[in-house]
Amino acid sequence: MKVGVVGLGYVGLPLAVAFAEEGHDVVGLDADPRKIDALGEGRSYIEDVPSEQLAVLDARLTPTSRFADLSSCDAVIICVPTPLTNSREPDLSYMIDAATSLSAVMQKGQLVVLESTTYPGTTRERLLPILEESGLAAGRDFHLAFSPERIDPGRTDFTIRTTPKVVGGLTDECTRRAVELYGQICDEVVEVSTPDAAELSKLLENIFRSVNIALVNELAMLCERLGIDVWEVVDAASSKPFGFMRFDPGPGMGGHCLPVDPFYLSYKAREHDFYTEFIELAGKINQNQPQWCVRRIERALNEAGKATNGSKVLLLGVSYKAGVGDIRESPALKIIHLLRGLGGDVAYHDPHVEELFDFGLNSVDLEESLATADLVCIVTAHPSLDYREVVERSSLVLDFRGVTRDIEAANLVRL
């Protein structure tokens, strides 16, 4: 097969590599020339795809910025961003731009699959009409499907091959073609009857996480009032072998998915005079979590006889999750912003994030900064750090991730 992948980011690049590794020719297209240049030189910019993995593809992955190169593909998969606008509504502009460019070069018989997370109805109502500007009819001249991406950056126990892939086509033949495509790289493909069902299944997965994280974050706030260790409670509940799934409290949600996707569904629901109150509430609690963390920081400093104003606060980990360098929607960014507003002198150390351009900050040397900080906050617990040593070398540590659960120390406070 010849497969085109539009958008070579966290989702698109591993996908393109997976098809190439199976021996298919892949045209990888991105609007960002720096990414195309990097790939042309055999350099990966995604942690989950080491450059060595690119080197063994034997030129089966062709990076390009020209949509015309997609016209010879059997299938084209779209993996562009679907963020929110400033007013927190779905921003489909990347998908619209990609689809508009694709429609100009589409050929009869091609399969187009959208993988970007979005609200139910996007494939049929928004993508289809743009692709049909090509003069080709969906379901007759070309095939169209939606298949949500389930990638979890940094995860190694499940791969693209071992993670079942959900697929919903516009027609039975569209579904069949999409199942055939993903069957090349996935052991199990799960068919649903429509693209809409596939779109909504992805939102359900992410909203499930968002709601459960909100629940446990709220519990953490209550535990603070009750003087109960929330980690002990979560550990104990997790010993139940059925009917309970563990979620951990933390400084808030980040990444491209969890803070964003629920709003896609709320938006669609409003169009139907329906208000997704449960989802909104979870979003509200999670969005407010960094504020609560800053109050905990203020209190910890206060108990040490210090004001936030003028105190040196060192954040450990600023990416949104452990083991990756992605800072999108990271709660650490909100915490830095809020602390600065209170006059805090904020620095950070993160082995995965060299620079926070918007704040004019660079990752500082760990040893030196631990010794001089008034407070060290574990915001994202990268596995490469030794947290026992962090506690030993710091005057005061506040742990938002529960990684110091086995450490007892007078200078240690946990969420």
Among 3, 4, 5, 11, binds ligand NAD (CB under 6 A): 11
Q: Which stretch binds ligand NAD (CB under 6 A): 54-62, 126-134, 147-155, 306-314?
A: 147-155
Number of other residues whose CB lies within 10 A of the CB of residue 45: 15
Q: At 45, list the tokens.
A: 């910019």
Question: Which positions from 114 through 133 interact with ligand NAD, judged by CB under 6 A?
Answer: 115-117
Residue 316 phi, psi (nearest 5):
-100, 115
Q: Among residues 30, 26, 28, which one has the least CA distance to residue 60?
A: 26
Q: Which stretch binds ligand NAD (CB under 6 A): 94-102, 270-278, 346-354, 372-380?
A: 94-102
* Residue 337 Cβ vs ligand NAD, minimum distance, rounded to whole Å: 22
17/341 Cα distance (integer angstroms): 44
Residues near ligand NAD (CB under 6 A), total: 27
Please provide the DSSP assignment of 65-78 as one string: S-GGGGTT-SEEEE
Among 7, 250, 252, 262, binds ligand NAD (CB under 6 A): 7
- If one asks whether residue 258 binds ligand NAD (CB under 6 A), the answer comes out as no
Among 3, 8, 144, 179, binds ligand NAD (CB under 6 A): 8
* Residue 27 Cβ vs ligand NAD, minimum distance, rounded to whole Å: 12
- If one asks whether residue 10 binds ligand NAD (CB under 6 A), the answer comes out as yes
146/72 Cα distance (integer angstroms): 21
Angle between helical axes of 277-303 and 195-226 (0-180°, round to 10): 30
Number of other residues whose CB lies within 10 A of the CB of residue 368: 10
299/70 Cα distance (integer angstroms): 57
Q: Look at the block and give the residue holding tokens 């004019």.
A: 360
Among 44, 62, 82, 276, binds ligand NAD (CB under 6 A): 82
* Residue 82 Cβ vs ligand NAD, minimum distance, rounded to whole Å: 4
Burial of 330 (0-12, 13-18, 19+ CB in 10 A): buried
- If one asks whether residue 154 binds ligand NAD (CB under 6 A), the answer comes out as no
Quick check: 167 and 190 in contact, CB under 8 A? yes
Q: Please say if 174 is a catalytic residue.
A: no
- If one asks whether residue 32 binds ligand NAD (CB under 6 A), the answer comes out as yes
* Residue 5 Cβ vs ligand NAD, minimum distance, rounded to whole Å: 9
Instruction: Give the DSSP H or E segment for 407.
Output: none
Which of 149, 196 has the CB closer to ligand NAD?
A: 149
As annotated, the active-site residues are 257
Q: Which residues bind ligand NAD (CB under 6 A)?
A: 6-12, 29-32, 35, 79-82, 94, 97-98, 115-117, 149, 151, 153, 256-257
